[in-house]
């Protein structure tokens, strides 16, 4: 089980889980559910009885952990701190240099949607401000604010003159 590989790399995590041997945890994502039982050494095996803790997650929000008052905080801690070093595992298969390049490519691919959205937003803002004049550019807005301030001061001086005449 892949989770055991991750736990084998982090002895502190196995030590924390070992205290909950025999209890089950279920991971849910939509219709997909994976249940596993904690073994005495802190490793896990697939299956198990009714879960003591249920972890529900989606890509849109952080995981929600519910269940046993003692096991749930431990599961939350593990979710926060256990990270799979896929580049290290990949280097055992293809070598260090190839694994590093493949990992860089995977990270760039994962970052692409956010970068594309940022660039598209910037292009749309430029189009709306410069081409269609639907938005006001910041320097132009500052100039308008300064002109409004001068106009308000002139209006106050004019009102004062009118009051003196009246």
Domain boundaries, the chain: 2-84, 86-135, 136-166
Residue with more model confidence, 60 or 47: 47
Beta strand 53-56 pairing with 24-29: parallel
Structure tokens belonging to residue 20: 């909950």
- The sign of the torsion formed by the CA atoms of 156, 161, 162, 163 equals positive
Residue with more model confidence, 89 or 162: 162
Q: Which residues contact 50 (CB under 8 A, 6 or more apart)?
A: 24
Per-residue confidence (pLDDT) for residue 36, from 0 to 100? 93
- Mean pLDDT, the chain, integer: 89
Asked whether the predicted pLDDT for residue 161 surpasses 90, the reply is yes
Under DSSP, is residue 30 helix (H, G, I), strand (E, B) or coil? coil
pLDDT one-digit tens code per residue, 126-141 = 888 788 878 787 888 8
Q: Is the pTM for the entire model greater than 0.85?
A: no
pLDDT one-digit tens code per residue, 56-96 = 988 778 889 999 899 999 999 998 888 777 777 778 889 98
- The sign of the torsion formed by the CA atoms of 68, 39, 85, 81 equals positive
CA distances from 5 to 9, 45, 79, 121 (A): 6, 12, 15, 41
Calculate mean pLDDT across residues 9-34. 91
Kindly report which listed range (24-28, 31-35, 88-92) carries the lowest average pLDDT score. Answer: 88-92
Per-residue confidence (pLDDT) for residue 1, from 0 to 100? 65
Beta strand 32-38 pairing with 24-29: antiparallel
Burial 33-66 (b: 16+ CB within 10 A, else e): eebbbbbeebbbeeebeebbbbbeeeeeeeeebe
Longest dimension (CA), the chain: 95
pLDDT one-digit tens code per residue, 107-160 = 888 889 889 999 999 999 888 878 887 878 788 889 999 999 999 999 999 999
């Amino acid at each position: 089980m892949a989770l055991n590989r991750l736990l084998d790399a982090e002895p502190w995590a196995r030590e924390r889980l070992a205290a909950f041997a025999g209890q089950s945890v279920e991971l849910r994502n939509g219709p997909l559910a994976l249940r596993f039982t904690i073994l005495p050494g802190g490793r896990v095996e697939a299956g198990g009885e009714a879960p003591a803790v249920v972890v529900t997650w989606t890509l849109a929000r952080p995981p929600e952990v519910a269940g046993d008052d003692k096991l749930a905080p431990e599961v939350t801690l593990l979710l926060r701190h256990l990270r799979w070093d896929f580049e290290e595992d990949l280097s055992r298969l293809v070598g260090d240099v190839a694994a590093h390049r493949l990992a860089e490519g995977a990270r760039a691919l994962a970052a692409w949607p956010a970068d594309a959205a940022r660039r598209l937003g910037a292009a749309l803002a430029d189009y709306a401000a410069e081409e269609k004049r639907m938005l006001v550019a910041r320097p132009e807005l500052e100039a308008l604010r300064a002109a409004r301030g001068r106009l308000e001061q002139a209006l106050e001086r004019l009102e004062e003159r009118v009051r003196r005449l009246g």
